A and B are shown apart, each in its own frame.
Chain A
Amino acid sequence: MKKPFAWLALASTVAVSCLSASDGDKPEMHTNVADWRDEIIYQVLVDRFANGDAANDFNVRPGVPARYHGGDWAGLEAKLDYIEALGVTTLWISPIVKNVETDAGVDGYHGYWAQDLTRVNPHFGDLAALRRLVAACHARGLKVIVDIVTNHMGQLFYYDINGNGQPDVQLAESGDSVDGQGHLKPVKHLTEYDPDFDPRGVQGRTSLGESGQASVIFVYDPDANKLPAMPAIFQEARAYHRMGRVVDFEATVKRCASDTRKGCAECPGDACVDYYEQTELGDFPGGLKDVATELPEVREAMIDVYTRWVLETDIDGYRIDTLKHVEHGFWQAFAPAIRQRVRDAGKKNFLLFGESFDGNDARNGSYTRDGEMDSVFNFAHKFQVFDDIIKRHGPTNKFEDLWAGRASLYGATPQADGVGVAPSKLPINFLDNHDVPRFLYLEKDTQALTLALTLLMTEQGIPCVYYGTEQGFSGGNDPMNREDLWSAGYATDGALFAHVARLTRLRRGYPALTRGDQKVVYATPRTGDQDEDAGILAFQRALGDAGDEAALVVLNANAAHASHTQHQGATMKTDFAGGTALVDVLDPARPGYTVGGDGTLLVEVPAMGARLLIPASQVRDGL
């Protein structure tokens, strides 16, 4: 090559390869969601979904469940076709912020061990990669929800209980005999990383007894990314409650309703309430340090960083971890402030929903009032319906009772500047997630899973599907329930994948299933082999914001025999007009049913089967 051409080639190469920040530009804010009831959430654990960038495969240990596996945002972006084919509409991705790298041989691959709330976790890519993912989702009509944690930070400090300046792990009460008659003191495991809860604050201790509140020592270990936390307020001991680990999640103490720091005797005339002191003030097990969210500086820091992530990425909502471990006052400050700030930036309908991991619906619902969450995960429903009714074939009237209570237990009006739908109509329904065994764990009952998915996709609320459900993953508790999706080859030809895809098409195709109100029209306490309606559950989806659209869902959770919507001559009564022709759109044969003159309808459903009845005039082809 002659020299002039060589220079030209070099110049061209330089010009093409010149570094540019354009891909990383801050996005404009858009409102991407019209009505969150139309959405179907797909939960993704980023580290386990797809590896699209080998450059961030730092210290990955494929095959070791508790270590990083290499998934990242680029991988997720590359697999959007798969997600689109499934028919879900919103991605909930695991936390994005920088985490403690590793602790006690377990990695922070899940994202719940925050160290720096202001920076992305480089295992998943850089800010530009996150922006590209969000933009690519929006280009396909998908929305993105990011998981956040305000309750705690990672294992950033230890309690120097014995004052020796090093983290000690030791045994106490080492099994010595108490009375010489075989009664032994229990062996107790003491760790300065994660000592038991003490309402006075974790106490220092010497051989002579207690020595006052233990000081905390922040660990400095760059290899484990145990570095000074950010924002800077989290580098101060006062930003944490320092009371030790929650040992009893149900423990309560009596406190003044107006100020839970006061005992009831201190506020005569005020209501005396049960206060979940440990849950709110204790460290989350695993040494995750509980943040003093009541401090104004802490609240402001949380609001600032989590507003910033919206503005930096144009995401559409937050899934908030460990809701019930933070006092209501924080949520009443945090949620409205986030809504207000992102709205001011041009984004409306920003969804805030949280995890109150509790079977008590009253407790869960308490976070949906007074400006707090737009919604919460429907844990009571997971336990009482998907587990008790679908998996264990229990009485279906539990479902009716649960939904009847929701109206009063959950917020009945939309949050100001929120998503415009009352929390009571917007539960986040789910079968399983990363914190509980998968639905198929222990019993590989795909028939039950199929029925559960049908219920999930037809009932009121926002369905949330945990990644891998469509592949029949069956892992047990964390971390075994966090399988690599690539192990399934991203297959789209399996029966479960097809079933989910079909259900998502139906849900998106029939507005009654998304925006209609829900009314239970048949439920039964009977489960016996001889009971003609054993396992039958039927509910209508109509009215609300569904216009004239309507649907009737009839399920049979009985595994032994077909059942019908009648007991001792009493037939299910619906709100459909007499003579209404209904078509079961779940059955490829599209069988028809006609509502009786008094609104009654007799429907037989095979064992563990379901029918989705749509007025014949509203049936749409191609779904």
Chain B
Amino acid sequence: MLRPSAAVALALSYVSLSSNAVAEQAAPPPQPAAQRVVVVHTGDPGPKPTEWTAPDGERRTGRFTFGSYGRVMTAIDGHGRRGRDADLVAHGSRLDEDSYAELQLERHDSYQLPSEPSAATTKMVATLAVGEPLFHQSGKFDATLAVRNLYIEAKGWLLPGLALWAGSRMYRGDDAYLLNWWPLDNLNTVGGGVRLELPRSRTTIALHAGANRLDDPFQLQTARRALPGNQLGATDVLILDRPRTVESLRVEHIFGLGGGAGLKLVGYGELHQLPSGQRETAPGRYEDLPADSGFVVGAQVTGFTGERDTHLSVFFRHARGLPAYGGDLSVPYALRLDKTTKGATDSVAAITGNFESGPVAIQLAGYLRSFRAATKEEFDFAHLDEGIFVVRPHVYFGERAGVFVEASYQAQRRAALAADGKGLMGGSMTRAALVPFLSPAGRGSFRRPQLRAIFSFARRSDGARALYPTDDVYARRNVEQFFGLEAEWWFNSSYR
């Protein structure tokens, strides 16, 4: 997913103890648990909360809020075709990403008895996401929709600083904005969790457990069967049904360095389990799928100055087994003969940062990744090493307009012999983009909304062209041009 949590955090007037350095910098100091802050509104003034008093004297306030993240892009390439994401690597620059938007409704309530010093709160979040194709592109009166959040979080009910949640939730930490990527943690499950903000400290512990069952033959298979009792007709029955369960633990601590600066340390881990199952390969024939599992360990170090979103984050993540394939929404491939992911590994080192000073800002991001699928074959297209580095310097002309240049280099190598038999498949791409923009909300790398015109030029190597199938224009062209217009916004959109 595609939401810059750091920037969103800035849009909020209240942020809990966040793992995001920038957000931490912009947020007020953590509130003592005893004072239990009632969260009933966000950065936008919005409607006033409704207030009433229950018969037992409990004071209640409540408010609806609407938030959104979105980007809409239209672009053509140098040949008049529709502009298209040109990245080679799994997590490339977000500059040429497709359109996407989230519409988020939240209901916040606080409950405070006269005998209690502070209120307890609930938050109900529903997020509807819209992807391409948009109606004005396709002409089809239809939409690609997903409900990406549907949960309730209750805070301050059992212990001060303790939040409980349950439901369907995007559950994630800090992103690398330029790459539209969450290098450390990005889970999508139906489940629940607890988050404890330790009193009078800058330590947060979050524990979560959830499950998903992807609509894929690796986890799910239905088959037609006759109705019972000699009824007419047939129905679907579940043959393979093995949800993946995921547990995660995130511990973070912020060291204050004075003057709003700080250092955030994050330790992170996931456990993934998949039960055994049986899949029908032909009527009356079944194959066993053994249980599978995996884990993730990771860490993050973020330093921030407390001034204008300036920060630098470094991430390390190592996954083995199930989660090595890219997270909980990925379907494993190139398995072992026993149809498990045992031995698969995914190791990532990533960096992201932002520096702002006067009319200048520089964003950067990059990563190195090494993925090895579970198959024991030494040469398999699935094995890969890749990396990217992106830098985006900005110059503001006045407070509300500017231009940035984005330069990037990315490369990928696959463990498959190249067509000429000399070396492995793989290639690289270098890109430079010039992007004038209007920022009505003012200066800042994370101020939105923003309107942009994008002029991008990329050069891919011959080896990169070979990674595309025949007749894909990217297999035929070394030079790519991209001319686009884009709007990007966010407000009142946070999943913390």
Interface set of A (CB-CB < 8 Å, partner B): 56, 58-59, 98, 119-120, 122-123, 126, 218, 220-223, 225, 227-228
Which residues of A lie under 8 Å from residue B235 when comparing CB positions?
222
User: B224 to nearest A CB, angstroms?
Assistant: 4
Which residues of A lie under 8 Å from residue B232 when comparing CB positions?
56, 58-59, 122-123
Task: Identify which of residues 186-244 in chain B touch chain A, using a CB-to-CB cut-off of 8 Å.
Answer: 224-226, 230-235
Which residues of A lie under 8 Å from residue B139 when comparing CB positions?
none
Say whether B224 contacts A126, CB under 8 Å: no
Residue B283 CB within 8 A of the other chain: yes
Report which of A122, A220, A221, A228 forms a contact with B230, defined as CB distance below 8 A. Answer: A122
Once bound together, how far apart are the Cα atoms of A364 and B231, in whole Å?
39
Which residues of B lie under 8 Å from residue A58 when comparing CB positions?
232-233
Q: How many inter-chain contacts with C-beta < 8 Å in the A-B complex?
A: 30
User: B284 to nearest A CB, angstroms?
Assistant: 7
User: B220 to nearest A CB, angstroms?
Assistant: 19
Once bound together, how far apart are the Cα atoms of A120 and B464, in whole Å?
64
Say whether B230 contacts A222, CB under 8 Å: no
Once bound together, how far apart are the Cα atoms of A487 and B22, in whole Å?
80
With A220-B283, A220-B284 in contact, is A119–B230 under 8 Å at CB?
yes
Say whether A225 contacts B226, CB under 8 Å: yes
Nearest residue (CB) in A for B283 is A220
Once bound together, how far apart are the Cα atoms of A117 and B282, in whole Å?
24
Nearest residue (CB) in B for A227 is B226
Report which of B224, B230, B283 forms a contact with A223, defined as CB distance below 8 A. Answer: B224
Nearest residue (CB) in A for B225 is A222
Once bound together, how far apart are the Cα atoms of A221 and B224, in whole Å?
7
Once bound together, how far apart are the Cα atoms of A109 and B42, in whole Å?
67
Which residues of B lie under 8 Å from residue A221 when comparing CB positions?
224
Say whether B231 contacts A223, CB under 8 Å: no
Say whether A126 contacts B234, CB under 8 Å: no
Which residues of A lie under 8 Å from residue B226 when comparing CB positions?
222, 225, 227
User: B338 to nearest A CB, angstroms?
Assistant: 25
Nearest residue (CB) in A for B231 is A122
Once bound together, how far apart are the Cα atoms of A58 and B284, in whole Å?
27
Once bound together, how far apart are the Cα atoms of A123 and B232, in whole Å?
7
Say whether A222 contacts B234, CB under 8 Å: yes
Once bound together, how far apart are the Cα atoms of A543 and B225, in whole Å?
61
Tell me which of B224, B231, B232, B284 has the highest count of chain A C-beta atoms within 10 A of its own C-beta: B232
Q: List the 9 closest A-B pairs by CB distance, nearest first.
A: A220-B283, A222-B234, A58-B232, A222-B224, A222-B226, A223-B234, A122-B232, A119-B230, A122-B230
Beyond A58-B233, A220-B283, 5 additional contacts (C-beta under 8 Å) are A220-B284, A222-B226, A223-B224, A225-B234, A227-B226
User: A309 to nearest B CB, angstroms?
Assistant: 15
Once bound together, how far apart are the Cα atoms of A123 and B230, in whole Å?
10
Which residues of B lie under 8 Å from residue A218 when comparing CB positions?
283
Nearest residue (CB) in A for B236 is A222
Once bound together, how far apart are the Cα atoms of A221 and B284, in whole Å?
12
User: A35 to nearest B CB, angstroms?
Assistant: 37
Nearest residue (CB) in B for A98 is B230
Which residues of B lie under 8 Å from residue A220 when comparing CB positions?
282-284
Say whether A126 contacts B283, CB under 8 Å: no
Nearest residue (CB) in A for B226 is A222
Which residues of A lie under 8 Å from residue B225 when comparing CB positions?
222
Which residues of B lie under 8 Å from residue A56 when comparing CB positions?
232
Which residues of B lie under 8 Å from residue A228 when comparing CB positions?
284
Once bound together, how far apart are the Cα atoms of A221 and B283, in whole Å?
9
Once bound together, how far apart are the Cα atoms of A56 and B230, in whole Å?
11
Tell me which of B224, B231, B282, B283 has the highest count of chain A C-beta atoms within 10 A of its own C-beta: B283
User: A109 to nearest B CB, angstroms?
Assistant: 13
User: B260 to nearest A CB, angstroms?
Assistant: 67
Nearest residue (CB) in B for A220 is B283
Report which of B230, B233, B282 forms a contact with A126, defined as CB distance below 8 A. Answer: B230
Once bound together, how far apart are the Cα atoms of A58 and B227, in whole Å?
13
Once bound together, how far apart are the Cα atoms of A352 and B279, in whole Å?
48
Q: Can you give 30 A-B contacts (C-beta < 8 A)?
A: A56-B232, A58-B232, A58-B233, A59-B232, A59-B233, A98-B230, A119-B230, A120-B230, A122-B230, A122-B231, A122-B232, A123-B232, A126-B230, A218-B283, A220-B282, A220-B283, A220-B284, A221-B224, A222-B224, A222-B225, A222-B226, A222-B234, A222-B235, A223-B224, A223-B233, A223-B234, A225-B226, A225-B234, A227-B226, A228-B284
Task: Identify which of residues 255-299 in chain B touch chain A, using a CB-to-CB cut-off of 8 Å.
Answer: 282-284
Which residues of B lie under 8 Å from residue A98 when comparing CB positions?
230
Nearest residue (CB) in A for B284 is A220
User: A116 to nearest B CB, angstroms?
Assistant: 9
Which residues of A lie under 8 Å from residue B233 when comparing CB positions?
58-59, 223
Once bound together, how far apart are the Cα atoms of A228 and B283, in whole Å?
10
Once bound together, how far apart are the Cα atoms of A44 and B235, in whole Å?
32
Once bound together, how far apart are the Cα atoms of A179 and B462, in whole Å?
52
Which residues of B lie under 8 Å from residue A122 when comparing CB positions?
230-232
User: B223 to nearest A CB, angstroms?
Assistant: 8
Once bound together, how far apart are the Cα atoms of A98 and B225, in whole Å?
16
Tell me which of A59, A120, A220, A225 has the highest count of chain B C-beta atoms within 10 A of its own C-beta: A220
Once bound together, how far apart are the Cα atoms of A59 and B232, in whole Å?
9
Once bound together, how far apart are the Cα atoms of A227 and B235, in whole Å?
13
Nearest residue (CB) in A for B282 is A220
User: B285 to nearest A CB, angstroms?
Assistant: 10
Once bound together, how far apart are the Cα atoms of A58 and B235, in whole Å?
14
Tell me which of A56, A122, A123 has the highest count of chain B C-beta atoms within 10 A of its own C-beta: A122
User: B455 to nearest A CB, angstroms?
Assistant: 52
Which residues of A lie under 8 Å from residue B231 when comparing CB positions?
122
Once bound together, how far apart are the Cα atoms of A227 and B233, in whole Å?
12
Which residues of A lie under 8 Å from residue B230 when comparing CB positions?
98, 119-120, 122, 126
Tell me which of A56, A59, A227 has the highest count of chain B C-beta atoms within 10 A of its own C-beta: A227
Once bound together, how far apart are the Cα atoms of A223 and B232, in whole Å?
9
Nearest residue (CB) in A for B235 is A222
Once bound together, how far apart are the Cα atoms of A221 and B282, in whole Å?
11
Chain B 365-377 interface mask (CB, 8 Å, partner A; 1/0): 0000000000000
User: A507 to nearest B CB, angstroms?
Assistant: 40
Tell me which of A218, A222, A223 has the highest count of chain B C-beta atoms within 10 A of its own C-beta: A222
User: B228 to nearest A CB, angstroms?
Assistant: 12
Which residues of B lie under 8 Å from residue A59 when comparing CB positions?
232-233
Once bound together, how far apart are the Cα atoms of A126 and B233, in whole Å?
15
Which residues of B lie under 8 Å from residue A222 when comparing CB positions?
224-226, 234-235
Once bound together, how far apart are the Cα atoms of A504 and B284, in whole Å?
54
Nearest residue (CB) in B for A224 is B234
Once bound together, how far apart are the Cα atoms of A123 and B231, in whole Å?
9
User: A583 to nearest B CB, angstroms?
Assistant: 56
Which residues of B lie under 8 Å from residue A225 when comparing CB positions?
226, 234
Once bound together, how far apart are the Cα atoms of A56 and B231, in whole Å?
9
Once bound together, how far apart are the Cα atoms of A123 and B233, in whole Å?
10
User: B333 to nearest A CB, angstroms?
Assistant: 24
Which residues of B lie under 8 Å from residue A120 when comparing CB positions?
230
Once bound together, how far apart are the Cα atoms of A56 and B229, in whole Å?
13
Task: Identify which of residues 456-474 in chain B touch chain A, using a CB-to-CB cut-off of 8 Å.
Answer: none
Once bound together, how far apart are the Cα atoms of A222 and B227, in whole Å?
9
Once bound together, how far apart are the Cα atoms of A126 and B235, in whole Å?
20
Nearest residue (CB) in B for A235 is B284
Once bound together, how far apart are the Cα atoms of A220 and B231, in whole Å?
17
Which residues of B lie under 8 Å from residue A223 when comparing CB positions?
224, 233-234
User: B221 to nearest A CB, angstroms?
Assistant: 14
Which residues of A lie under 8 Å from residue B282 when comparing CB positions?
220
User: A39 to nearest B CB, angstroms?
Assistant: 31
Which residues of A lie under 8 Å from residue B234 when comparing CB positions?
222-223, 225
Once bound together, how far apart are the Cα atoms of A222 and B228, in whole Å?
12
User: A410 to nearest B CB, angstroms?
Assistant: 40
Nearest residue (CB) in B for A221 is B224
Nearest residue (CB) in B for A126 is B230
Once bound together, how far apart are the Cα atoms of A98 and B231, in whole Å?
11
User: B19 to nearest A CB, angstroms?
Assistant: 51
User: A219 to nearest B CB, angstroms?
Assistant: 8
User: A71 to nearest B CB, angstroms?
Assistant: 14
Once bound together, how far apart are the Cα atoms of A227 and B282, in whole Å?
13
Nearest residue (CB) in A for B224 is A222
Which residues of B lie under 8 Å from residue A119 when comparing CB positions?
230
